[in-house]
Chains A and B, each alone.
Chain A
Amino acid sequence: MTFVSLSFVAFLFVGIALFYICPVKYRWLVLLGLSVWFYAQSNVAYLPYILLSTLSIYLSGVVMGKFWTEQEEKLKAEGLSKDEKKSIKEKGKKKRKAVLIAALVLNIGILCTVKFAKFFVGPINSLTAFLGGEGEFSASSIIVPLGISYYTFSTVGYLLDVYWKRYPHENNYLRFLLYAIYFPHILQGPIARYNNLGTQLKGELNFDLDRFMKGVQLLLWGYFKKLVIADRLNIFIDGVFESYDSNLGLINVIAMVADAFYIYADFSGCMDMARGISDIFGVKLELNFERPFLATSVPEFWRRWHITLGAWFRDYVYMPVSTGAKLKELNKKLKKANVSKSVSRVILVTIPVFITWILTGLWHGTGSTYIVWGFYYAILIALSTAFSDDYQSFLKKHNVKTDTLSWRILRIIKVFCIFMGGRILTVPGSLSKTKIVLQSIVHNINPWVFTNGTFWKYSELDSYGVIIAVLCVALLIGVDLIQEHLGEKSLRDRIGEENLFTGIILTVALAVAVFVYGIYGSGYDAASFVYMGY
């Protein structure tokens, strides 16, 4: 069951009714019941995985919490020398580390097994045959639990935070399970932090009409992005990329631009739905997109796109690596060897950036295309971070005016092109197909595709569909520009400041637009969300 199905709409109506009928004290239990039911609807076989993961991490958190308390009690003793205190801390750390490693091996092990198992199917079958065994192990028999990457990252983040004592551990398993399985975020995130979502789910979940209405508006806007924009663009993109015709030329460029808006509308649309649904239940989920196509540099783009994943990798991979013992040692060696500051900077940036981005690539997919994708961004971000000072000095020296609108637009276009470059590495499905697409762009620039009928030969969207798609993308950009101008205040807050009538008209218009222009109907299945498979 995805957010774009009639059964989900029915589930949501029943869920809202049950939630608000129930006394405030027990509403979190209703959410837990709804979430388990929602998850089990996809496949009951997924449940043991999430139960095992959450239980192992919950218990590890409890044990680590106990070790922390024990250590603090020991440190309270009077008259302890500095060395004695150090020894108590080291012993405590050793015990906590053992628990942490065991839990990480189990949970990251499960994640890697289900994600990478397909690569081991061949060797396992060969080995079985060699040993005289019968029966073949098939990749399709491997269960990949829904949202495993999301809940594993959320719960592992909690475990590391407890290990580092950023906040206390949770004492109630059911509350912890709700944090992991909470149905608005289990499909595609956002990757939640326990001190945010867990705390909210523990608080009083009261009815608030304003928040409820804004949640409905955000949910409808998410449906609009998904059903009207993304699924429409997807028809065009599929038609073009599936042909892999080396004569497509400019049509491939148009498909790449369309693909950038498609993935944005699809993923951010799902996030708007998740946040809107959660708002209806009085729980605020973290923002996952902040107008990424208005970013003026690659690092800024990744602070605006899939924000919670980027923040996760920053806090739990990049920072521990860049401030870890190995890099500290390297930093000292570079200093001793009198290596210049700028060279040291390049070395110290490159290592954690490459580790982080190769892992980010593997998170997105397991094929070689994703490793190349990881390298692509690692190189760009390492260069951008290591030489940012030199680049600024160069601009200053050559009197380049950087505070102008035209300069900003140029930088936005540059980032957009880089994003398209990253997508073209993975979307066609293999690097050889990527090569065909790129070759056709370079060797076959044909500006007459619109007038000589070539465009319509490959476009599975008719002229009406293309006009709707172009207008909707323009609307998407317009909304982003308005939101950028509003800053902290959301567009929904701004609409709320107008009279009630305006708010109602806009909400109804959005709902009508989804019904009239959405891509669905008999014989059409709304395409699954792109990020749902992770």
Chain B
Amino acid sequence: MNELIEILKSVNDKIDYENEKSLVTGKVLDSIDITSIIVELEDHYDIEITMEYMENENFDSVEAMLKMIEELQD
């Protein structure tokens, strides 16, 4: 979890990732942030985030992103 938060902070450090549960639906992250997050996650976790995972719910919170990463690593 902390590792992921560090990655997210490298993209945008003004966000309270621990407590924010609607990062996309609440428009906290914009599309450029999401693109940068995808690049960082793909690089770091050696995964490919394809369009089928481009759902708001997969990026709305740190927990949701972790779940998606685990699924993609499987």
Main secondary structure of the interface of B (DSSP, over half): helix
A331 nearest CB across to chain B (Å): 5
> Is residue A205 within 8 Å, beta carbon to beta carbon, of the partner chain?
no
Query: Are A322 and B31 touching (Cβ within 8 A)?
Result: yes
Distance (Å) between the CB of B13 and the closest chain A CB?
Answer: 11
Interface residues of B in 44-74 (CB under 8 A from A): 49-52, 54-55, 74
B29 within 8 Å of A (CB atoms): no
The CA of A327 and the CA of B42, in the complex, are separated in Å by: 13
A-B contact pairs, 7 of them (CB 8 A): A164-B52, A318-B31, A319-B31, A323-B54, A331-B36, A348-B36, A352-B31
Given contacts A165-B52, A323-B51, A345-B32, 14 further A-B contacts (CB under 8 A): A164-B51, A164-B52, A164-B54, A318-B31, A319-B51, A323-B35, A323-B38, A323-B49, A328-B35, A331-B36, A331-B39, A335-B39, A348-B35, A352-B31
Question: Would you call A489 an interface residue if the criterion is a C-beta within 8 Å of the partner chain's C-beta atoms?
Answer: no
Q: Which of A332, A335, A349 is within 8 Å of B32, CB to CB?
A: A349
Cβ of A203 within 8 Å of any chain B Cβ, yes or no, is: no
> Cβ of B34: which chain A residues have Cβ within 8 Å of it?
322-323
Tell me the smallest distance from the CB of A514 to a CB of chain B, in Å.
Answer: 39
Kindly state the separation between the CA atoms of A318 and B36 in the bound complex, as whole angstroms.
Answer: 15
Distance in Å: Cβ of B2 to nearest Cβ of chain A: 22
B30 touches A (CB below 8 Å): yes
Is A122 part of the contact surface with B, judged by Cβ < 8 Å? no
Query: Complex Cα distance A320/B50, Å?
Result: 9
Residues of A483-510 whose CB lies within 8 A of B: none
Residue of A nearest to B34 (CB): A323
CA distance in complex: A164, B39 (Å): 19
**B58 → A minimal CB distance (Å):** 12
Closest residue on chain A to residue B54 by CB atoms: A319
Residue of A nearest to B50 (CB): A164
A76 lies within 8 A of chain B by Cβ:
no
Top 9 closest pairs, chain A to chain B, by CB: A164-B52, A164-B51, A331-B39, A165-B52, A322-B35, A328-B39, A348-B32, A322-B31, A323-B35
Chain B interface extent, by class: 10 to 19
List the B side residues contacting A165 at CB < 8 Å. Answer: 52
A385 at the interface (CB under 8 A from B): yes
What's the Cα separation between A328 and B50 when bound, in Å?
A: 12
Contacts of B38 in A (CB 8 A): 323, 328
Contact with B along A307-345 (1 / 0, CB 8 A): 000000000001110110001100110010000000001
Which of chain B's residues have a CB closer than 8 A to the CB of A323? 34-35, 38, 49, 51, 54
Task: Report A12-33 CB contacts with B as 1/0, cut-off 8 Å.
Answer: 0000000000000000000000
With a CB–CB cut-off of 8 A, which chain B residues contact A348? 32, 35-36
Which chain B positions have C-beta within 8 A of A85?
Answer: 74
Least CB distance, B55 to chain A, in whole angstroms: 7
Q: Is the CB of B35 within 8 A of A331?
A: yes
Q: How far is the CA of A319 from the CA of B38 in the complex (A)?
A: 12
Q: Mark B7-40, 1 if CB is under 8 A from A, else 0.
A: 0000000000000000000000011101110110
Point out the residues of chain A lying under 8 angstroms from B30, CB to CB.
Answer: 385
Q: Output the least CB separation between B35 and chain A (Å).
A: 5
In the assembled complex, how far is the CB of residue A183 from the closest CB belonging to chain B, in whole angstroms?
Answer: 31
Which of A165, A166, A322, A323 has the most chain B CB within a 10 Å cutoff? A323
Q: Which residue of B lies closest to A325 (CB)?
A: B48
Please encode chain A, from 243 to 264, with 1 for each CB lying within 8 Å of some chain B CB and 0 for all others: 0000000000000000000000
Known: A165-B52, A323-B54. A328 touches B31 (CB 8 A): no
Alpha-carbon distance A85/B48, docked complex (angstroms): 13
Residues of B within 8 A of A322 (CB): 31-32, 34-35
On whether the beta carbons of B51 and A320 are closer than 8 Å, the reply is yes
Min CB–CB distance A5 → chain B (angstroms) = 41
Check A385 against B32 for contact (C-beta < 8 Å): yes
User: Within 8 Å CB of A164, what residues of B?
Assistant: 50-52, 54
Q: How far is the CA of A349 from the CA of B36 in the complex (A)?
A: 11
Q: Whole-angstrom distance between the alpha carbons of A328 and B40 in the complex?
A: 10
The chain B residue with its CB closest to the CB of A388 is B30
Which of B42, B55, B74 has a CB less than 8 Å from the CB of A166?
B55
Complex CA distance for A199 and B45, rounded to whole angstroms? 37
Q: How far is the CA of A332 from the CA of B35 in the complex (A)?
A: 11
Nearest CB in chain B: distance from A148 CB, A? 25
What separation, in Å, do the CA atoms of A165 and B34 have in the docked complex? 20
Chain A residue, CB-CB nearest to B27: A303
Given A166-B55, A385-B30, the answer on whether A327 and B35 have CB atoms closer than 8 Å is: yes
Question: For the complex, what is the distance from the CA of A85 to the CA of B71, rounded to whole Å?
Answer: 13
Q: Which residue of A lies closest to B53 (CB)?
A: A164
Cα of A359 to Cα of B42 in the assembled complex, Å: 29
Residue of B32, B43, B49, B74 ringed by the most chain A CB atoms within 10 A: B32
- B residues in contact with A385, CB < 8 Å: 30, 32
Q: Give the CA-CA distance A320 to B51 in the complex, in Å.
A: 7
Give the distance to chain B from A77, nearest Cβ to Cβ, in Å: 14
B36 contacts across to A, CB distance below 8 A: 331, 348
How distant is the Cα of A275 from the Cα of B36 in the complex, in angstroms? 39
The interface residues of chain B lying within 8 Å CB-to-CB of A352 are: 31
Chain B residues with CB below 8 A from A320, complex form? 51
Contacts of A160 in B (CB 8 A): 51
Closest chain A residue, CB of each to CB of B38 = A323
Provide the A338-367 mask, 1 if CB < 8 A to any CB of B, else 0: 000000010011001000000000000000
Nearest CB on B from A393, distance (A): 12
Alpha-carbon gap, A352 to B42, bound state (A): 20
A339–chain B nearest beta-carbon distance, Å:
12
CB of A89, distance to nearest CB on chain B (Å) = 9
